[in-house]
Amino acid sequence: MHEQDRALSLAESVLTAAKAADQAQVTVTITDASYARFARSYVTQNLESQQTNISLTYYIGKKAGTVNSADASPDGIARLVAKAKEIAQRVPPDNDFVSLPKPQEPPAAVPSFFASTSDATPDDRVEKLLPVFARMKRSNLYCSGFTTTQTQTLAIANSLGVRVAYTGTNGGIQVKAMAPQTSGYAEAYALDYSTIDTEPIAERAAMKATVSSTPADFAPGRYTVVMEPSAFQSAVKALLEGIDASNVLDEKDSWMIGRLGKPILSPNFTLRSDWSNPQLANPPFDPSDGSPVKKFTFIDKGVPLAYSASTYMSNKFHVPATGVANSMVIDPGTKSYDDLIGSVERGVLISRTWYERVVDPRQAAITGLTRDGVYAIENGKLTKALKNFRYFVSMVEVMKDVEFSNRATLCEPEDDLGYQCVLPDAKIANFNLAAQTSFA
């Protein structure tokens, strides 16, 4: 792993230069990300970006200064250290800080690097798209979306002896097929780009865009909905945003408060943090400080059991450190996707949602809108495309009655929230579709 060695070596050089600090942590990230974006069935943005970032946090007692830079030259490292030290000397202390983590042997990482992804060329990416454009043309559709290949290396070293590094790849495609009044969406993500077959993705998006040519009205109200993984990931965010010690103990704005240990959710619902899930393959250490990430269960058969805690929160509140939970896995059920839909007498299939916002974190109340394919399910079959809905639900309430499909799908990384999910499709009862829009 050439880039891992480079990143660790760089971190070591910075740490050596910062040896006068009481404690110090260096984080080096090297990222290479490529995207071919398309709209109206041609490539509109075609890009690659290569970035290195060196972050040093320099501690003098409880006072800390953090400086980021990409300059790995000896002069650049000297400037980085001097600036971080200067900040640490000048700012008041962070009294909640106790210590950086001490070295602990992290578990062995699972395979996460695939040359087929890291070595993909611009032509490789565009050639993945040509069958997608051809499929759209056959049905007089346009499409919009992107395909991406990414490689990221992360190395962390601290003055107490932590030395960890990781390299992972990720590839993906999103396709939104667009008819004049309707649309359909499909996506696929994989660590190994060569395993992504774009023809079935295009077929699925095109099929959904042509279920019917005109979106129908459907009275707002409470329905049984089937949320495909992309949509479900967005809704379940209302729960995921409240499962850290920072929410439960510090901000006190978590739905978990007063509900730990109580059977308040469906016994079908188990949520785990599992960095070793082979579809995710995240690093076995906390990307914020290099401490080992524990595998643990947040919700076991409907009972909220535990919350995550970083080293910082663990020290502050004297609770066990778990590391940041960035690998969310919901246990699948037993029914196939088709059987899940087949079990709905009258309901709604939701492919994807948009602009979700947690309105009341204590109730995990979230609002958002459906997009890119919402359909009526009648007597177990998709019967027509519908205009979009605004939903507004308490996930604590609606997850009392949920059933999952047997397929576990890797979803688009939630980069801004810092986690990835592997989720099944979810059939949720009493889901409040509060209002309908005028379009699909």
Partner 1 sequence: MASYASAAARILDSATKAGANYADVQFWTIRSENLFVRNGDVQDASDSRSLGYAVRALVDGSWGFYGSDRMTDEDFDRAAVAATVIARSGTKVVDRIPAITPTQKTVATWETPFTRDPASVSLGERANHLLAVEKSMHVAKNVIAGYAFMNVWTTGKEFYSTNGSAIVQTIRQAGAGCGATAIGKDQDAQSRGGPGDFGLYQGGGYEVIEAADLATIAPEYGREAVILADAPALPSGVRDLILDGTVLNLQMHESIGHPLELDRSLGWEANFSGISWVTPDKVGKARYGSDLLNIYCDNSMAGGMATVGYDDEAVKPERVPLIENGILRAFLSSRDTAAQVGLPQTASTRAQDWGSVPMVRMTNIALAPHEGTLDSIVADTKDGVLVSGMRSWSIDDHRLNFQFGPQIGYEIKDGKRGKIFKQPTYTGITPQFWGSLDRVGGPSEFRVWGTPNCGKGEPEQSGRTTHACSVARFKDVKVGVKADA
Window 180 to 239, contacts with partner 1 (CB under 8 A): 222
* Minimum separation from the CB atom of position 373 to partner 1 (A): 12
* Minimum separation from the CB atom of position 292 to partner 1 (A): 24
Q: Based on CB atoms, which residue is closest to partner 1, 366 or 410?
A: 366
Position among 390, 401, 406, 407 found at the interface with partner 1 (CB under 8 A): 390
Residue 75 binding partner 1, by CB under 8 A: no
Position among 60, 126, 207, 216 found at the interface with partner 1 (CB under 8 A): 126
CB 24 within 8 A of CB 56: yes
Position among 85, 204, 208, 371 found at the interface with partner 1 (CB under 8 A): 371
Provide CB contacts within 8 A for 427, sequence distance 6+. 224, 225, 226, 340, 343, 344, 402, 403, 404, 405
Position among 5, 96, 119, 199 found at the interface with partner 1 (CB under 8 A): 96
Position among 42, 107, 200, 339 found at the interface with partner 1 (CB under 8 A): 42
Stretch that binds partner 1, among 79-87, 100-108, 162-170, 195-203 (CB under 8 A): 79-87
Stretch that binds partner 1, among 1-9, 16-24, 161-169, 362-370 (CB under 8 A): 362-370
Window 247-276: residues binding partner 1 (CB under 8 A): 250-253, 257-258
Q: Based on CB atoms, which residue is closest to partner 1, 68 or 194?
A: 68
Q: Based on CB atoms, which residue is closest to partner 1, 107 or 355?
A: 355
Position among 1, 9, 20, 40 found at the interface with partner 1 (CB under 8 A): 40
Annotate the chain with three-state secondary structure: CHHHHHHHHHHHHHHHHCCCCCEEEEEEEEEEEEEEEEECCEEEEEEEEEEEEEEEEEEECCEEEEEEECCCCHHHHHHHHHHHHHHHHHCCCCCCCCCCCCCCCCCCCCCCCCHHHHCCCHHHHHHHHHHHHHHHHHCCCEEEEEEEEEEEEEEEEECCCCEEEEEEEEEEEEEEEECCCCEEEEEEEECCHHHCCHHHHHHHHHHHHCCCCCCECCCCEEEEEEECHHHHHHHHHHHHCCCEHHHHHHHCCCCCCCCCCCCCCCCCCCEEECCCCCCCCCCCECCCCCCECCCEEEEECCEECCCECCHHHHHHHCCCCCCCCCEEEECCCCECHHHHHHCCCEEEEEEEEEEEEEEEHHHCEEEEEEEEEEEEEECCEEEEEECCEEEEEEHHHHCCCEEEECCCEECCCECCCCEEEEECCEEEEEEEEEEECCCC
Q: Based on CB atoms, which residue is closest to partner 1, 110 or 126?
A: 126
Stretch that binds partner 1, among 2-10, 276-284, 302-310, 369-377 (CB under 8 A): 369-377
379 in the Ramachandran plot: left (φ > 0), alpha (ψ -120 to 50) or beta? left
CB 142 within 8 A of CB 176: no
- Residues contacting partner 1: total by CB under 8 A: 99
Stretch that binds partner 1, among 13-21, 115-123, 301-309, 417-425 (CB under 8 A): 115-123
* Minimum separation from the CB atom of position 301 to partner 1 (A): 22
Residue 156 binding partner 1, by CB under 8 A: no
Stretch that binds partner 1, among 6-14, 36-44, 260-268, 289-297 (CB under 8 A): 36-44
Q: Based on CB atoms, which residue is closest to partner 1, 76 or 103?
A: 76
Q: Based on CB atoms, which residue is closest to partner 1, 108 or 219?
A: 219
Position among 9, 51, 334, 336 found at the interface with partner 1 (CB under 8 A): 51
Residue 140 binding partner 1, by CB under 8 A: no
Q: Based on CB atoms, which residue is closest to partner 1, 294 or 387?
A: 387
Residue 317 binding partner 1, by CB under 8 A: no
Distance between CA 267 and CA 331 in Å, rounded?
11
Position among 61, 74, 94, 119 found at the interface with partner 1 (CB under 8 A): 94
Q: Based on CB atoms, which residue is closest to partner 1, 143 or 321?
A: 143
